[in-house]
Amino acid sequence: MEILSYAFVQRALLAGMLISIISSVIGIYLIYRGLSFMSAGISHAVFGGLAIGYLLGINITLTSLLFTLLIIWIMPFIVRKSKLKQDIPIGIFYSSSMALGALLLSFHQGYTTDLFSFLFGSILSIKDEDLIITLIFTVILTIFFLRNYWKIIFMIFDQETAEASGINVFKLEGAVLTLTGIAVVLISKLVGIILSSALIIIPAATLVPYIKDMRKLIVYTIFLNLMCIISGLILSYYFNLPTGSTIVIIATLVFLISLFK
């Protein structure tokens, strides 16, 4: 209980609780829609936006968010125009975003603290304003999924019938992917750009094969996410390990163990 006496640990735990909700809801959706690669792709776009902000000397969280959303919004039009399978242009553009970020960063020497935290995660240094923003987004995400729950379920399991029944699948999925982009930017503050997609996908992928009830799946995934985050915080605190990497390694070990059930 010693670590709970520190304010920065208390903020980290609160952030972990909120991000457990965000990553679980987003992760389950992406897995069922067959879009799990999107989280990794979006994290590449975040890196491009980060580099733009760093180069221009403005808030890198804002530029990461705007650049990521821009890529997400133009992607459906690129997919339609190219007439290729969805994963091909997505892979090209998100990889190009990562390359753009690396190119822009090459014009500067060294790294700032904010840049390092985005790349590798810094949950223990999370600020009050970051916590407030994450809380607001968690509320917005929860309300959106509760209001559109049955539409989303319908779209996941029978897209053609959903479209025939009057559901605007293109608009609904665009809204979900927009929320996913925001989520990846926020989660990057926790475990970093490099590992953010893992936190979204791994806990959900661990439980999807074993739990068929969607509501139970969401609850259990949130719980698993939170346990991984808390365990990672404790281990990183006592053994002086990088927090984000520790959290993801724990989640991966749980996934591997689940394969032998």
Predicted model pTM: 0.87
Q: Which two tokens stand for residue 225?
A: 């996410």
- For the chain, the helix, strand and coil percentages under 3-state DSSP, each to the nearest 5: 85, 0, 15
The amino acid present at 59, given as its one-letter code, is: N
Q: What are the tens digits of pLDDT across the range 106-125?
A: 776 665 555 666 677 677 77
Q: Which two tokens stand for residue 79?
A: 């997919």
Q: Which two tokens stand for residue 124?
A: 């223990």
Q: Which two tokens stand for residue 141?
A: 């995400």
Residue with tokens 């792709």: 41
Residue with tokens 């339609």: 80
The amino acid present at 206, given as its one-letter code, is: T
Which is nearest to 144 in space by CA: 106, 182, 110?
182
Which is nearest to 119 in space by CA: 201, 203, 9, 194?
194
Q: Which two tokens stand for residue 24?
A: 């679980």
CA count, 13 A, side-chain hemisphere, 126: 32
pLDDT score of 147 more than 90: yes
Query: Which domains does the chain show, CATH number per domain?
Result: 2-258 (1.10.3470.10)
Tell me the C-alpha distance between 27 and 22, whole Å.
8
Q: What are the tens digits of pLDDT across the range 82-103?
A: 777 767 777 787 778 878 887 8
Compute the C-alpha angle 208/95/144, nearest 5°: 45
Residue 238 has a CB neighbour count (10 Å cut-off) of: 10
Calculate the CA dihedral of residues 248, 204, 155, 19 and round it to 10 degrees: -60
- What percent of the chain lies above the pLDDT cut of 90? 29
CA count, 13 A, side-chain hemisphere, 244: 25
Average pLDDT of the chain is 85
Residue 88: Cβ-neighbour burial (10 angstroms; 0-12, 13-18, 19+)? exposed
Tell me the C-alpha distance between 62 and 50, whole Å.
8
Q: What are the tens digits of pLDDT across the range 44-67?
A: 888 888 888 888 888 888 888 899
- What percent of the chain lies above the pLDDT cut of 70? 94
Which is nearest to 76 in space by CA: 160, 165, 176?
176
211-232 mean pLDDT = 92
